[in-house]
Structure 1
């Protein structure tokens, strides 16, 4: 069946020609997303446990905790804290929970897991880690959590900032 040329979709009957069109990705796989302020960030895919789309009413608010925390979310029997990543990084505007679903990126380091609520997921992208530059014009509150940034467009400068999920997980800000 696999040797049958009709099995392959493509221009010709030569299966090898179809495979030559594929390009091998360069760089490392990253998840790209936006926070409430409209800034775009990336996290290495290797540090992400999963991406969850959750209705806001499934995130249980917890009293007397950091205002950066939206609450807890039960994911297949495991309770994880969910934080507003934009506010954590210094956005003045909190994430609106008046929406059908909230995108939550679950990151994990050792046994600690944290859900990072973001405004919008862009998708996965192969990015060359060697093109990362030192961050410029970064607010002091954001700097400890950045590994660098990519300049994505030369004509209209657009920055894609690379976050360090381990630094975010281990931050002392969660105790505030």
Structure 2
């Protein structure tokens, strides 16, 4: 008597069934988003506490605070600072807060949590850091906060464009820059 059940419906031998294969993602999970200048950035999902879409009136302005800070936010009973990420990175274009909702990415390290207000959330994507390149044509104000960048084509096939490291003909390439959340959290720029 054969005590080994045959769940795949074969002859009792181990059979390979391609239709049961699940493609494993390559790389690490990242959140993609845009700042007001429409530059695209990413953060590793592991350093993100949560992403919130909220009304601007839930952010309380603080007088005499750094111009980088929009104010504070009560996040589940904890007060956190919310910064305009674009301005923090040295962009001149301020985040438009005159709209129904603002996207805030709460990043944390140990007991420190900061909310980064961005223009638009692009979604989650599996990205392989082994294909990161050194940042190219980046302002000095942004450099300390970057781990690198990917040059991506205009299609959804980011893995293929990452592996080649080049954009494909006929598609408009764009740069996806990977931020270093620890460098952001530990920055002396918060002091004003």
| TM-score for both structures, normalised by structure 2 | 0.81
The secondary structure found in structure 2 opposite 1:168 is helix
Larger radius of gyration: 2
Specify every segment of 5 or more residues in structure 1 that has no aligned partner in the other structure, as ranges. 1-15
Q: 1:26-105, aligned counterparts within 5 Å?
A: 26-105=26-105
Alignment correspondent of 2:111: 111
| TM-score for both structures, normalised by structure 1 | 0.88
Specify every segment of 5 or more residues in structure 2 that has no aligned partner in the other structure, as ranges. 1-16, 154-166
Give the superposed CA RMSD. Answer: 1.1
Post-superposition offset of 1:18: 5.4
Verify: 1:157 aligned to 2:173, yes or no: yes
Question: What do residues 21-78 of structure 1 show as CA deviations (whole Å, max 9, x unaligned)?
Answer: x311110000000000000000000010110111000000000110000000001101
Post-superposition offset of 1:17: 6.7
Runs (4+) off by over 4 Å = none
- Paired with 2:181 and 2:190, the residues of 1 have a C-alpha distance of 14
The secondary structure found in structure 2 opposite 1:139 is coil
- Paired with 2:28 and 2:39, the residues of 1 have a C-alpha distance of 21
The secondary structure found in structure 2 opposite 1:87 is helix
Question: What do residues 80-104 of structure 1 show as CA deviations (whole Å, max 9, x unaligned)?
Answer: 1000000111111111111111000
* Number of positions where the alignment pairs a residue of Structure 1 with one of Structure 2: 160
The secondary structure found in structure 2 opposite 1:46 is helix
